[in-house]
Structure 1
Amino acid sequence: MSPTELVAVFVSALSVWLTGCRVVWCWPVTLVACLLYGIVFHEARLYADMALQAVFAALACYGWWRWQSAEHHDGSVQVRPLEARSLWFGVVLSTACGAGAGYALSRLTDDAAPFSDAMLSAYSILGQVWMARQHIACWWVWIVVDLFYTGLFAVRGLYPSAVLYAVFVGLAVTGLRLWRKEAI
C-alpha cells in the first residue's frame, strides 16, 4: 500500500460520488484520479489498467464537454436510456477488444493477469463511454466490473483499491437508483 494509492482511492471515490449525483465537476476530479491510478497500476504491473487510465483521462474530457452542454440550471444533467442495438454493439465490441488485448498482453508483457486485466479494461471503457453519454446502462456495467476488480485487486495485494472497488459497487447501485429517478 502506497501513499499514492491511498490518495487515488479517496479521489476516485469522490469522483464516483459526484457522478452519481450528476454533478459536472465529477469529470475534472476523474482526471486527477486517472493520473494517480496510472502510477499505482504501473507499480503493480497491471499494464492494461495503466493504459486504461490514459483512455479514461481522454473520456473524462469528452464527458466533461458532453455534460456541460447538457447541464441543467441546477447543475445536474439529464440521463437517457440506451437503445438495444447500441447495447449489443457495445457488449460485442468490448468482448472482442478485451479478448484481443488479453492475448497480446499474455504474449508481449509480464502482466500479472493479462485476460482479466484486458477484459475489465475493455468493459470499463464501455462503461465510461456510456456514462459520458448519460446512459443509465453504464451503472450496470460498473456494478459487474467493480465486483470483478475487487477480486483482482485483492489478489494483486492492492487492498485499499480492493476496498475502494467494493465501495464502488455500492456507489454504482446508488447511482443506478438515482439516475433511474431522473430518466427521460
Structure 2
Amino acid sequence: MDKVEWLAAALGLVNVVLVARRSLWNYPFGIAMVALYFFVFVEARLYSDALLQIFFLAINLYGWWNWARSEKVGDGGIAVGRLGNPARLLWLGGTAIAILGWGSLMARFTDAAAPFADAMVAGMSVAAQILQSQRKYESWVLWVAVDALAVGLFWSRGLIATSILYALFFVIALAGLIAWRRTMERKPA
C-alpha cells in the first residue's frame, strides 16, 4: 500500500497547486487522488476519511462542472468570492454539529483508531471542498485548519507520505488563501 499512498500523495500535490492557481485542470488529478486514497484510508482504519473520499469524488465532479462554467478573470483563472457573515455562521455551526455527530457514531459503532480527530478532519474537509467547488475564499481558511490537524493524525497512524503531503498542503493552503484574496481585491466575483 506504500506505493499507492505515495502515488495518491503526488497526485494530491499537483491537485492542490492547481487549485491554488484557480486552474480547472486540478479536477482530473483530484479525482485520481481520491480514488486511491479510499483504499489507503480503509487499510489504516480511518473510516471517516475513507468515506470522505467517496464524497470527494462526487464533489470533484460537481466542482469540475461548476468551474468549467464560471467566469474567468484577467489572468485566466476562475473568479472567486466570499461568503457573507450569516452564511459563515451557518457553515461554522453546521460543520461543528456534523463533526460531533459523526465522531460519536464512529466512536460507538466502529473500531476507528481516532474517531473524533478523524471526524474533525473529515467534517471540515467536506465543508471546505463544497465551498471550494463554489469558489469561496473561506474554503482556504478551512483547508489551513484541516491540513494542520491532518498532519498529526496521519503521522500517528503511520501514514508518513500522507502526513508529509498534508504538511505541504498546509503551505499551499496558506498560499492559496493569499492568492485568492488578491484575486478578489483585483476583481470581485
Q: TM-score, normalised by structure 1?
A: 0.97
- Residue 18 of structure 2 is matched in structure 1 by 18
Alpha-carbon offset, residue 84 of structure 1: 0.9
Amino acid across the alignment from 1:125: V
- Residue 59 of structure 2 is matched in structure 1 by 59
- Residue 30 of structure 1 is matched in structure 2 by 30
Amino acid across the alignment from 1:11: L
- DSSP-derived class of the 1:180 partner: helix
Alpha-carbon offset, residue 107 of structure 1: 1.0
Distance in 2, Cα, partners of 1:87 & 1:108: 31
- DSSP-derived class of the 1:111 partner: coil
8 Å CA contact 1:24, 1:75 repeated in 2: no
- Residue 152 of structure 1 is matched in structure 2 by 153
Please state if 1:166 is matched with 2:175: no
- Residue 45 of structure 1 is matched in structure 2 by 45
Distance in 2, Cα, partners of 1:98 & 1:8: 25
Q: Deviations over 1:124-180 (max 9, x none)?
A: 000001101111111110001100000001111111111110100100011111111
Distance in 1, Cα, partners of 2:105 & 2:123: 13
Distance in 2, Cα, partners of 1:106 & 1:14: 34
8 Å CA contact 1:123, 1:145 repeated in 2: yes
Distance in 1, Cα, partners of 2:19 & 2:109: 36
Please state if 1:79 is matched with 2:91: no
Please state if 1:133 is matched with 2:123: no
Distance in 2, Cα, partners of 1:131 & 1:139: 8
Amino acid across the alignment from 1:51: L
Calculate the aligned-residue CA RMSD, in Å.
1.2
Distance in 2, Cα, partners of 1:9 & 1:22: 20
Please state if 1:8 is matched with 2:8: yes
Distance in 2, Cα, partners of 1:134 & 1:164: 23
The percentage of counterpart residues that share the same residue type is: 35
Please state if 1:116 is matched with 2:113: no
8 Å CA contact 1:80, 1:134 repeated in 2: yes
Would you say how many aligned residue pairs link Structure 1 and Structure 2? 184
Amino acid across the alignment from 2:93: V
Listed as ranges, the gaps of 5+ residues in structure 2 are: none
- Residue 96 of structure 1 is matched in structure 2 by 97
8 Å CA contact 1:81, 1:135 repeated in 2: yes
- Residue 143 of structure 2 is matched in structure 1 by 142
- DSSP-derived class of the 1:151 partner: helix
Distance in 2, Cα, partners of 1:63 & 1:75: 17
Amino acid across the alignment from 2:104: Y
Amino acid across the alignment from 1:18: L
Alpha-carbon offset, residue 72 of structure 1: 2.2
Distance in 1, Cα, partners of 2:28 & 2:89: 30
8 Å CA contact 1:124, 1:142 repeated in 2: yes
Question: Which aligned runs of 4 or more in structure 1 are off by greater than 6 angstroms?
Answer: none
